[in-house]
């Protein structure tokens, strides 16, 4: 529908864009300025969002103020580059951004960036000077550094800035000092980092600045609305085709770091079990070569370093999400991410209770996939989630399983069609999910196949990283009373996006102008409750290590809100609803006696303590003690597991198996 109505405004936007295209300032040798197409792309993109985004954001003073804050935060979240006086000089633009959208004026965007670039070079030069003298680095002092400066004030003087950076540099040297390296070795390593940062920064292109600014504006409409530059758009298309050679991880920028947003199931990072969502990448090395520091780098440059030919080795220095005070070196062999690695897979688990052995099938679904190209060609053997799961269930039935577990943990979603069709394997027929568009029109995605392919006992596993299509399936199983949902509260992404090519609206010298990913609709359960923000609350819930403010839809202050619409008629199965409270009581009893559950609670508490930590000691002896204590705790746990013969336990899966036994023994 959107593709039909967008051209209606194309003529008006084209004339506006053409008028703005010649307003770009002359390029000089010292400052980055907009390219001639940016003015038109700016106006067109933001007006498309204002007209067709689900919430239709008002381009007025509040939007302008939010955009102002968002851009400054994205430029310097830790407040280690801009002075208070710089921010004061930008204030004149705070309520003018809305007007600049209609005029195509990008003065604010490039003035801020050029100021940032100047401050960055000042700090790099200061760091290189400081690293020339070992007397600047006394690790026996009882000093510390503020870890998170997001809520701190901007500094007022150069003296304050230098003092802040002296601590920052000391922190960068700390782990190497603790490892026994000499100051000469440390200094050479850190100097290389800053020299590389200078080279990369000097290569910044106008398109890089424009994309950063645009996404600072789009993200305040909601976190899934984005601008893709021509290069980013090409990378997105490549990743969607699953032909990308690399490590299999989706990255994003957070403050000065490149952060792992998602690990692709079946990819090299996932198979290594060494990279996880939330890890921050600080340096990258090719094979045995030296590490290149990537703090403060543009994300596309970091991606270029990590990506490479199949079979080659990349080493990453990371700050783990579960231990923000530590650093680890991870070695990964690059490989091609192929559809087969993303396929659903099955296994059989056995549980013994009171002299009886139960056999359960487990089907892990990493994503909701379908090979559209093969399906369109009429290939009778095209791959899809539902087709593969049907085959797996058929094989499991032959082995006479007593029940089934569908594991959707870390499944970030995918094809809506597949979520609906997979649901249809477990219900006779009926609505699966409601979709409401920006005009308020609501429709239902319906399973029309009356066949009940699997009618046995069912458990669905989810966690914080189960999103979108995963949430649709889990919610349907819960609402119909068809399965028991177990695990952590899910991600909470209940929105629908559409990619819009900007070349459909404006043409400038045959240039590729990129795309806008636009939120156009919301998902609702058959009960009328949105999956947005709240996600799916499991019937039997486990506490999550990752806080909602860090991961999930809750992490963005601009996420669309939860709301509710009318329910649609559907026929509940209610196989388990009346017994869930009994299952919960038995679950609680097992968890009270479970050592692994106690470990989970300890991990959550430790993560909370680390996440709330305000300052990091820069005293090398104190830092070593922190590392030793952490290593000692890990060794103690490993020894305890060895005594119990419990290597690599999966607490949630093990409990799901026990709950299946409860289901079949408690009537």
Three-state DSSP class for 76?
coil
DSSP category for residue 368:
B
Distance of CA 208 to the CA centre of its chain: 21
Cα 210 to Cα 39, 40, 106, 513, 527: the distances in Å are 10, 12, 9, 12, 43
Place of tokens 């038109």: 40
> Who's near 316: CB < 8 A, 6+ residues apart?
275, 281, 283, 284, 285, 306, 329, 330, 332
Q: Which one from 43, 468, 529, 530 is the annotated catalytic residue?
A: 468
In the beta sheet, which residues pair with residue 405? 362, 459
Three-state DSSP class for 122?
helix
The span from the CA of 377 to the CA of 416, in Å, is 20
Quick one: residue 287, left, alpha or beta (phi over 0 = left, psi -120 to 50 = alpha)? Answer: left
134 is annotated as an active-site residue: no
CA dihedral for 591, 593, 596, 599, sign (positive or negative): positive
468 is annotated as an active-site residue: yes
Three-state DSSP class for 614?
coil
Closest Cα partner for 561 from 535, 532, 537? 532
CA dihedral for 308, 314, 316, 321, sign (positive or negative): positive
493 is annotated as an active-site residue: yes
Q: What are phi and psi of 414, to 5 degrees?
A: 135, -135
Q: Which one from 76, 388, 407, 479 is the annotated catalytic residue?
A: 479
Three-state DSSP class for 271?
helix
> Who's near 641: CB < 8 A, 6+ residues apart?
647, 649
DSSP line for 421-444: HHHHTTSSSEEEEEEEETTS-EEE
DSSP category for residue 83:
B
Place of tokens 């998602």: 262
Cβ atoms 257, 282 nearer than 8 A: yes
> Who's near 589: CB < 8 A, 6+ residues apart?
none
The span from the CA of 121 to the CA of 81, in Å, is 10
Torsion, Cα 428 429 432 437, to 10 degrees, reads 180
Cβ atoms 361, 348 nearer than 8 A: yes
Q: Which one from 259, 265, 493, 522 is the annotated catalytic residue?
A: 493
Tokens at residue 122, please? 């000042």
SS3 content of the chain, % helix, strand, coil (to 5): 45, 20, 35
The span from the CA of 217 to the CA of 118, in Å, is 23
Q: What are phi and psi of 349, to 5 degrees?
A: -120, 145
CA dihedral for 405, 242, 318, 155, sign (positive or negative): negative
Closest Cα partner for 266 from 410, 372, 383, 396? 410
**Catalytic positions, please?**
468, 479, 493
């Amino acid at each position: 529908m959107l593709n039909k109505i967008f051209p209606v405004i194309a003529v008006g936007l084209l004339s506006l864009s053409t008028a703005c295209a010649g307003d770009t300032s002359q390029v000089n040798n010292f400052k980055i300025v907009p390219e001639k197409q940016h003015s038109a792309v700016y106006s067109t993109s933001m007006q498309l969002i204002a007209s067709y985004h689900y919430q239709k954001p008002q381009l007025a003073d509040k939007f302008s103020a939010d955009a102002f804050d968002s851009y400054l935060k994205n430029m310097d979240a830790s407040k280690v580059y801009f002075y208070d006086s710089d921010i004061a000089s930008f204030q004149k633009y705070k309520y003018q951004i809305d007007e600049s959208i209609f005029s195509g004026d990008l003065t604010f965007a490039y003035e801020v960036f050029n100021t940032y670039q100047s401050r960055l070079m000042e700090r790099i030069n200061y760091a290189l000077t400081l690293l020339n003298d070992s007397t600047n680095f006394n690790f026996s002092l009882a000093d510390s550094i503020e870890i998170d400066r997001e809520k701190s004030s901007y500094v007022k003087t150069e003296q304050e800035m230098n003092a802040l950076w002296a601590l920052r540099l000391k922190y960068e040297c700390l782990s190497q000092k603790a490892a026994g390296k000499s100051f000469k070795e440390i200094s050479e390593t850190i100097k290389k980092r800053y020299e590389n940062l200078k080279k990369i920064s000097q290569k910044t292109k106008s398109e890089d600045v424009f994309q950063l600014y645009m996404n600072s504006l789009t993200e305040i409409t909601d976190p899934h609305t984005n601008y893709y530059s021509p290069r980013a758009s090409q990378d997105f298309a490549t990743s969607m085709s699953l032909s990308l050679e690399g490590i299999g991880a989706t990255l994003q920028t957070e403050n000065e770091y490149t952060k792992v947003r998602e690990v692709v199931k079946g990819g090299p990072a996932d198979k290594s079990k060494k990279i996880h969502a939330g890890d921050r990448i600080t340096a990258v090395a090719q094979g045995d070569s030296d590490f290149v520091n990537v703090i403060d780098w543009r994300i596309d440059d970091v991606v270029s370093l990590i990506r490479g030919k199949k079979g080659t080795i990349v080493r990453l220095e990371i700050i783990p999400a579960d231990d923000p005070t530590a650093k680890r070196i991870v070695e990964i062999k690059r490989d091609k991410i192929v559809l087969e690695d993303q396929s659903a897979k099955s296994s059989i688990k056995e549980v013994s209770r009171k002299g009886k052995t139960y056999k359960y099938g487990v089907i892990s679904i990493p994503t909701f996939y379908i090979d559209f190209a093969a399906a369109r060609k009429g290939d009778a053997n095209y791959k899809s989630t539902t087709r593969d799961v049907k085959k797996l269930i058929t094989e499991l039935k032959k082995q006479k399983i007593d029940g089934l577990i569908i594991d959707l943990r870390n499944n970030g979603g995918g094809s809506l069609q597949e979520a609906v069709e997979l649901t249809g394997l477990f219900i006779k027929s009926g609505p699966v999910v409601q979709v409401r568009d920006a005009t308020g029109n609501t429709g239902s995605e319906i399973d029309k196949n009356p066949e009940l392919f699997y009618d046995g006992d069912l458990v669905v596993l989810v966690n914080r990283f189960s999103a979108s299509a995963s949430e649709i399936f889990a919610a349907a199983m819960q609402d119909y009373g068809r399965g028991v949902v177990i695990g952590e509260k899910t991600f909470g992404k209940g929105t629908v996006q559409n990619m819009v090519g900007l070349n459909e609206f404006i043409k400038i010298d045959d240039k590729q102008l990129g795309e806008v990913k636009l939120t156009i609709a919301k998902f609702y359960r058959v009960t009328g409750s949105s999956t947005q923000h709240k996600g799916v609350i499991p019937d039997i819930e486990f506490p999550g290590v990752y806080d909602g403010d860090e991961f999930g839809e809750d992490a963005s202050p601009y996420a669309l809100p939860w709301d509710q619409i009318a329910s649609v008629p559907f026929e509940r199965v209610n196989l388990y609803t009346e017994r869930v409270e009994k299952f919960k009581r038995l679950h609680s009893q097992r968890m009270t006696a479970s050592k692994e559950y106690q470990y989970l609670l300890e991990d959550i508490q430790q993560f909370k303590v680390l996440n709330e930590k305000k300052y990091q000691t820069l005293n090398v002896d104190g830092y070593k003690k922190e590392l030793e204590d952490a290593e000692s705790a890990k060794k103690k746990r490993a020894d305890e597991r060895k005594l119990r013969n419990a290597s690599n336990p999966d607490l949630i899966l093990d409990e799901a198996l026990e709950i299946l036994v409860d289901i079949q023994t408690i009537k």
